[in-house]
Amino acid sequence: MKLQYQLTIAFTTLLVVIMTVAGITIYSQMLQMLIKDEQRQLEDKGQLIVNFILYQDLNNTSNVQRLLDMLEQYNLQVFAYDDRSNQIIFSSIPELEVVNDWVDRYDMEETEQPLWQADNEKYVVSILPFYSIVSTQHLVLLTPLDDLQEVQKSLLWRLSLIFLIGIAVAVLLSHYLTSKLVTPLTQLKHQLKKIEKRKFDDMQEIKATGEIKEVEQSVSDMANELHSFIQSQRHFFQNASHELKTPLMTIQGYAEGIRDGVFENEEAERGLNVMVAEINRLKKIINEIILLAKLDSEESIYDETEVNLQEFVEKITERALPIANEKEIKWEVKKVEPYIVSFDHDKMLQAIMNIVTNAIRHANHKVELSVYQKGKQVCMEVMDDGEGMDEELLSKLFHRFVKGESGETGLGLAIARAIVEQSDGTIKAENNRLGGAVFTVSFSHYEKKKHSVYD
Ligand SMILES: Nc1ncnc2c1ncn2[C@@H]1O[C@H](COP(=O)(O)OP(=O)(O)OP(=O)(O)O)[C@@H](O)[C@H]1O
Ligand SMILES: [Mg+2]
């Protein structure tokens, strides 16, 4: 069943239950309240009549007429009764037997008598004493219970009508509110279907608020992430096949030339050398692709240990110095403090060497390596004085197979980033003030040792 109907049914059922309980409670109390109210009214009106009888001269016919008018106006069933003579003084009740029955059977001593049962009808009774010079007399006011039950019925009808209107309004309201709630969910479902079918360009924003908006935001972030992942995978395969195809075609060309006798002697020798160089290049690309795939998917290949950056920088220098010397580039290391950082020693060495070999390749005169603390982070920085990188290259420098004019495979920095990020670090590239490039690898978790390895 649709969520909207489920919610509407749930709301309506809840409302009907609440209203029914309220209705039953009110109905059961209603008669009691009407009886009490009637008694109070009878008392008030009776008091007026008693005052009239006591203080007006009833020998005067106009006063008697006023009394009768009053009784008619209040629509009262009333009679006056003399205790001593046990007689009715006057009565406005047409059924005399009811009055006589009352005189015969009513127990004046009993105070708690809200209803009096006559032959076939019950009455609400109110008795007010008044005293004449000779005896005690009582004014007795009666209201048939039937009258009150009529009032009760009519009230019940009105109450039921209000309940019905209330339920109808509530059902409409809950339908409207649930549809407001459910519509964004339905739209979200359609958006998810689009993701399933990889129609990322058809994705639309949903009008929603609160938690649904947050879910929508997460779905949209997920879709963007998935889209860029799929695109990067696609580019990766395109680039990889292109990178593999070029050396293979060169090798094929020379191999066929030598086989068919097109290249002979020196040319054949040169062809073989090119073939060996291209095969080495192919080997390097394939190894780097395999390494990248492993870095992405196998967390177990990381062997984290605590590394002292002073010793680590020495290892980099051991490897970088021969390459720098060969290119006549000056290799400079600033004084390093004994910071301890956790990472896979060999893989991080490879990551930093990828950055360092790039720097040596692009530098004009020198490459500088420094380790320093900045805020809550410790940073390793490789700076060169080469030509630097243009903005377009900078924005996608760490992507796979992205390379500049004098680049090689374009995988070195992608590998470096994968290793650094796996070690909870960050990597960034900028141009420095000398125009060359500066690469910074930062770690948030580190310790500083008291004793340097140089002490
Ligand atoms: N220090 C630098 N100065 C200027 N450009 C640089 C520097 N380091 C990297 N680059 C540019 O970034 C590109 C990508 O570098 P990356 O190391 O990923 O690939 P590569 O060096 O071309 O190939 P390899 O996979 O062999 O490392 C390079 O081709 C180069 O154009
Ligand atoms: Mg490189």
Query: Confidence band (pLDDT; 50, 70, 90) for 111?
Result: low
Answer positive or negative: Cα dihedral of 302, 308, 309, 311: negative
Compare 136 and 417 and report the one with higher pLDDT.
417
Our mutation pick for probing the ligand 1 site, out of 366, 403, 415, counting the most ligand atoms within 8 A of Cβ, is 403
292 phi/psi in degrees, rounded to 5: -60, -45
Full-prediction pTM beyond 0.85? no
pLDDT number for residue 313: 96
Which ligand is nearest to the Cα of residue 360, counting in written order? 1
* Atom number in ligand 1 closest to CA 403: 29
**Predicted local confidence at residue 311, as pLDDT:** 94
Rounded to 5 degrees, φ, ψ at 119 are -50, -65
Domain 3-151 -> CATH class: alpha beta
Q: Pick the atom of ligand 1 nearest to 359's CA.
A: 1
Contact 7, 183 (CB under 8 A): no
CA of 385 to the centre of ligand 1 (A): 15
Does the beta carbon of 423 lie inside 6 Å of ligand 1?
A: no
State the average pLDDT for the chain: 88
For the ranges 126-135, 276-285, 304-313, the lowest mean pLDDT is seen at: 126-135
Q: Which residues pair with 342 in a beta bridge?
A: 306
C-beta 187 within 6 A of ligand 1? no
DSSP assignment of 178-190: HHHHHHHHHHHHH
State the closest ligand 1 atom to the C-alpha of 358, by its place in the atom list counted from 1.
8
Q: What residue's CA is closest to ligand 1, atom 19?
A: 410
pLDDT tens figures, 374-408: 999 999 999 999 999 999 999 889 988 888 888 88
Apex CA 128: angle with CA 125 and CA 130, to 5°? 155
Q: Whose CA is nearest to atom 13 of ligand 1?
A: 403
Classify burial at 245, counting beta carbons within 10 Å of its beta carbon; exposed 0-12, middle 13-18, buried 19 or more. Answer: exposed
| C-beta neighbour count of 452 within 10 angstroms | 12
Is the minimum distance from the CB of 359 to ligand 1 under 6 angstroms?
yes
> With contact defined as beta carbons under 8 Å apart, do 25 and 159 qualify?
no
| For the chain, percent of residues with pLDDT exceeding 90 | 42
Note the pLDDT tens digit of each residue in 3-48.
778 888 888 888 889 988 988 888 888 888 988 898 899 889 888 8
Residue 219 has pLDDT above 80, yes or no: yes
Mean pLDDT of all residues in 196-216: 89
Q: What's the rounded mean pLDDT across residues 179-188?
A: 87
Tell me, in angstroms, the distance from the centre of ligand 2 to residue 300's CA.
25
Please list, in sequence order, all residues whose beta carbon lies within 8 angstroms of the beta carbon of residue 70, skipping any fewer than 6 positions away.
48, 49, 52
Tokens 């048939």 correspond to: 144
Q: Please report, for the chain, the start and end positions of each structural domain, with discontinuous segments joined by +.
A: 3-151, 210-297, 303-448
Query: Taking phi first (over 0 means left), then psi (-120 to 50 degrees means alpha), and beta for anything else, what does residue 165 get?
Result: alpha
Our answer on whether the CB atom of 409 is closer than 6 Å to any ligand 1 atom is yes
Separation of alpha carbons 172 and 3, rounded Å: 16
Distance CA 332, CA 440 (A): 16
DSSP-assigned letter for residue 72: H
The reply to whether ligand 1 has any atom less than 6 angstroms from the CB of 411 is yes
Residue 453 carries which side chain, given as an amino acid letter? V
The strand pair at 87-91 and 77-82 is best described as antiparallel
Strand ranges across the sheet with 115-117 = 87-91, 77-82, 136-144, 122-131, 115-117
Residue 133 pLDDT grade (very low, low, confident, very high; cuts 50, 70, 90):
low
Q: What superfamily does domain 303-448 belong to in CATH? A: Histidine kinase-like ATPase, C-terminal domain (3.30.565.10)
| Annotation: CATH topology of 210-297 | Helix Hairpins (1.10.287)
Which ranges constitute the DSSP H helices of 260-373? Answer: 265-297, 309-326, 345-362
CA of 337 to the centre of ligand 2 (A): 28
- By alpha-carbon position, which residue is closest to atom 9 of ligand 1? 358
Q: Does the C-beta of 413 come closer than 6 Å to ligand 1?
A: yes
